[in-house]
Structure 1
Amino acid sequence: MAEQYTALEVAINTLVKNFHSASSTDADTLTAQEFQSMISKELPTMVTTAGDQEGLNKLLADLNVEEGKGVTFTDFWGLVDSLATTQFGLQSNEKQVKCVKCSLM
């Protein structure tokens, strides 16, 4: 039997692969510009927050990336974790609302 992955698992896998391929020099670290470019392509809804320099600086600060330093995979994983947790919560809430049995418990 072939393993079935959820859409969320596939999305996480894609983000990880694309992080590593986005670096022009070191697969474990992206420059701020490489990170911004990857975010624009892979997470376009975040462009409203990271699309300009001020938004990018805030996102980098939220990820605890020091000014002038690159975005490590560990930094990036914090973002992925936050997004996945939020998305999983949204999906769980949608299922609960649609599930009559669950809402009765």
Structure 2
Amino acid sequence: MAEQYTELELAINTLVENFHSASPTKVGTLTAQEFQSMISKELPTMVKTAGDQEGLNKLLTDMNVEDGKGVTFKDFWLLIDSLATAHFGLLSKEKQVKCVKCSLM
């Protein structure tokens, strides 16, 4: 019997797979161009500024990715964390929801 994954498990798996498939070299680090292409394709609504060079540079700076260095999965995961936190903030303002079991920064 095959295991049934939850929606959350499937979402996490999708994030991991999409990051690693974005690099043709499969080295675990994306170039700025590979990262920009992936973000533009996979997160166009949440990361609108990554579409141009100035926006990409600001995003990479905000993620603490140094010039000339690749984007690691850890860097990407920190972006996902900040997007999820911001999204939760928007939802909590809209619905007046307070999460008492977690502490989101």
How big is the alpha-carbon RMSD for the aligned residues of Structure 1 and Structure 2?
A: 2.5
Residue 27 of structure 1 and its aligned partner are, at CA, apart by: 4.2
Residue 84 of structure 1 and its aligned partner are, at CA, apart by: 1.4
Which residue of structure 2 aligns with residue 5 of structure 1? 7
Tell me the number of residue pairs that the alignment of Structure 1 and Structure 2 aligns: 95
Percent identity among equivalent residues? Answer: 77
Q: 2: CA distance between counterparts of 1:45 and 1:56?
A: 15
Q: 2: CA distance between counterparts of 1:22 and 1:10?
A: 18
Which residue of structure 2 aligns with residue 84 of structure 1? 84
Residue 62 of structure 1 and its aligned partner are, at CA, apart by: 0.4
Q: Which runs of 5+ in 1 are unaligned?
A: 98-105
Instruction: Out of 39-48 and 86-95, give the one that drifted further.
Output: 86-95
Larger radius of gyration: 1
Which residue of structure 2 aligns with residue 50 of structure 1? 50
| TM-score of the superposed pair, with normalisation by structure 1 | 0.73
| TM-score of the superposed pair, with normalisation by structure 2 | 0.73
Which structure shows the higher helix fraction?
Answer: 1
The amino acid across from 2:55 in the alignment is G
Q: Which runs of 5+ in 2 are unaligned?
A: 98-105
Q: Deviations over 1:34-92 (max 9, x none)?
A: 00000011001245311111000000000000001110011111101111122233344
Instruction: Out of 37-46 and 81-90, give the one that drifted further.
Output: 81-90
Which residue of structure 1 aligns with residue 22 of structure 2? 22
